[in-house]
Structure 1
Amino acid sequence: METIAAVLEEMQKVCLNVHAEEYSSFVQLLKEDRRFFFTGEGRSGFVAKAIAMRLMHSGKTVYVVGETTTPAIQETDILVVLSGSGKTAQALNISESANRAGATVFMITTNEEALQLPFISGGVRIPAATKYRHTDEPETIQPLGNQFDQAAHLILDAAIIDSLAEGKTNEELVKKHSNLE
């Protein structure tokens, strides 16, 4: 139980230290009537898929990069990139390609410098530890990039909740949930 308490304490510290303006800009982006594409590698990719699924339940048109049914990204679309380090080669290559197509590229990362890249339109910096354990990262008992991935999941789920239209109920979201299980 001590480990659970420590992880929860870490998550509270990390999640509550996200810049309110960055968070609000993501919530506003989620309110837009555009197509959303999600990408990330490893565990960050799993979080990206989980968030993409929940956003689809809210009524948005959502795709995951790399899936066989994902169409070409266009200039009216939004690419959401999860990369703890902000340096993952594939995530950056996909971001550059989306930018060349004219899409909005929004990055979720721990790396402030990555948010300044010319092909990144905006982002949320999560002040969490990564597997690289840079000196400016918070202490954690968790291995590798767990702290970032967990914080990203919590923060992005909260942003979806904040982006939902007034009065949208759980029952409405359930209607979009898979019924082929």
Structure 2
Amino acid sequence: MKTIQTIVDEMITVSRAVQEEEYLQLVQLLQQNKRFFFTGEGRSGFIMKAVAMRMMHAGKTVFVVGETITPSITQEDVLLVLSGSGTTPSSVHVAQQAKKSGATIFLITADADALETAPFSKGLVIPASTKSQKHHTRKTIQPLGNQFDQAAHLILDASIIDATQETSYDSMKKNHANLE
């Protein structure tokens, strides 16, 4: 039980350190009536699939980069990138391609410096530990990027709740998979 409490305490600490302005910028972006594309590698990719699913439940048009049914991105669309380092080569490549198409690109990362690099111009910093040497000194009992992964999932879930408050439970349930 002590380990569980320590992890919960870590999530509270990390969540409270997120900049409100960046968080609200994300919420406002998610409120828009646009198509949303999600990308991330490894565990970040799994989290982005869960986030895309929640956005779909809320009635948004969503796509996961790399799936066979994902269409071309356009200047009317939004790409959300989850990368602890902000430098994951495949995620940066996808963002560069989206920038060429004129899409809005939003990075969720543990590294504030990544927000200062092209193709990223907007983003949210989650000050959590990642597998990167640069962030391993942030306080955690968890190995590798577990702290970042958990915090990203929690914070992105919260942003969807804040962005879709007008969406009823019944309409969300109607969008939930029924081929289970």
State the TM-score, normalized to the length of structure 1.
0.96
- What does residue 4 of structure 2 align with? 4
Structure 2 Cα separation of the partners of residues 93 and 9 of structure 1:
35
Identical-residue share of aligned pairs (%): 54
Which of 110-119 and 42-51 deviates more?
110-119
- 4+ runs deviating over 6 angstroms: none
Secondary structure (helix, strand or coil) at the match of 1:142 reads: coil
| 1:109-133 deviation line (CA, Å, top 9, x unaligned) | 0111111113213100000000124
Structure 2 Cα separation of the partners of residues 75 and 99 of structure 1:
8
- Give the residue type in structure 2 aligned to 1:161: I
Matches within 5 A, 1:31-180: 31-134=31-134, 137-166=137-166, 168-180=167-179
Structure 2 Cα separation of the partners of residues 107 and 174 of structure 1:
29
| 1:44-90 deviation line (CA, Å, top 9, x unaligned) | 10000000000011000000000000001001100000000111000
Cα RMSD after superposing both structures: 1.2
1:170: Cα distance to partner?
1.9
Which of 60-69 and 132-141 deviates more?
132-141
Structure 2 Cα separation of the partners of residues 13 and 89 of structure 1:
29
Structure 1 Cα separation of the partners of residues 54 and 163 of structure 2:
12
Structure 2 Cα separation of the partners of residues 157 and 122 of structure 1:
19
Equivalences, count: 180
- Give the residue type in structure 1 aligned to 2:139: E
State the TM-score, normalized to the length of structure 2.
0.97
Structure 1 residues 164 and 135: alpha-carbon distance in aligned structure 2, compared to 1, 3 A threshold: closer
- Give the residue type in structure 1 aligned to 2:177: S
- Unaligned ranges ≥5, structure 1: none
Q: Is the 8 A contact 1:127 1:137 kept in 2?
A: no
- Give the residue type in structure 2 aligned to 1:164: T
Secondary structure (helix, strand or coil) at the match of 1:175 reads: helix
Structure 2 Cα separation of the partners of residues 135 and 165 of structure 1:
34
- Unaligned ranges ≥5, structure 2: none
1:7: Cα distance to partner?
0.4
Which of 103-112 and 113-122 deviates more?
113-122
1:171: Cα distance to partner?
2.0
